[in-house]
A = this chain, B = another copy of it.
Amino acid sequence: MSRPGGKFCRFLSLLAGLLLSSNLAAQEGQIWRKVAPENLVFIGMREGEIVLELNPDFAPVTSARFRDLVREDFYRGLSFYRVIEGFVAQAGTESALPPKPDQQLPPEFERSWDAALNWTPVQTDDLYAARTGFVDGVPAARADGQIWLAHCPGAVAMARDTAPDSGSTDFYIVLGQAPRYLDRNLTIFARVIDGMEVAQRIQRGAAGDNGMITNDLARSRIGRMRLFDQLSAEERREYYVVDTNSEYFRKTLEQRRERRDAFFIQSPPAVLDVCQVPVASRAERVGISRELNPN
């Protein structure tokens, strides 16, 4: 082990920036937002567990449909059939048929800006949008009187065909450098709040095959998905995500933007990539608390 403050220890202490450490527990009330249990989805896989927070504020119809699909065990045994390192992992039925009319999901790509939203600004004149920021822990962007969720790593969205309402069941998890050019074109309806390192272990396809894994047996498979109320009493735990509306978070954003530490020989530009700001989460079960990787 490195000594605290020792070589290389220092390196990452600085660079990891805003990872929340245990000394923040005291201020917990001001820092953490509890995730509504009905918005939790638990994806169980051989590779581990991925936990999602649904976002009914931005994708009410898609979130409700996904919740129904999870409850009826629709995804059991389905696989991640198309997975591209540095891009996305896509799972579902892999059906070549268009969805039945009653299964089509309406586009929930963006919504009108609403001053009642909990907007925490991060950056203006980002490469892709006039403004970026967080809404209740989720990276988002704004322009033209519209607001939308951003395709950052950990975003979960519905796949679709060319028609905007052709999404139905198949979804993807953003794995790599944010493909922000997809923003406003697909419905982001959830975010990975735990187990992003599990998503990173999903079996990749070959680039030459556009990520398609033709051998079904070689794919990473969804064992099952469950909602909070489908967990047994001892499996249940509460999730907390950093409250991006808090004064604490706004201060950490400023520190991250400024980087005044002596480590920096060249001062970095005072800018922030909204997809490069960690938003920590933690789980609690019967008084047991553990901190989780941000994503």
Contact = CB atoms under 8 A, between A and B. Distances in A.
Chain A interface, >50% SS class: loop
Nearest to A277: B177
Interface in A9-39: 9-13, 15-16, 19-22
A44 interface: no
Interface string A164-193: 101000100001111111111100000000
Interface in A138-165: 152-154, 159-162, 164
A106 interface: no
A175 to B, nearest CB: 8
Given A166-B7, A200-B200, A293 B15 contact: no
A22 B208 contact: yes
Nearest to A183: B268
A177 B152 contact: yes
Given A263-B185, A264-B185, A201 B200 contact: yes
Given A85-B197, A96-B2, A126-B127, A162 B293 contact: no
A15 B182 contact: yes
Interface string A246-278: 000000000000010011111011010101101
Interface of A: 1-3, 6-13, 15-16, 19-22, 82, 84-88, 90, 92, 94-98, 107, 109-110, 123, 126-129, 152-154, 159-162, 164, 166, 170, 175-185, 196-197, 200-201, 204, 206-208, 210-212, 214, 259, 262-266, 268-269, 271, 273, 275-276, 278, 280, 290-295
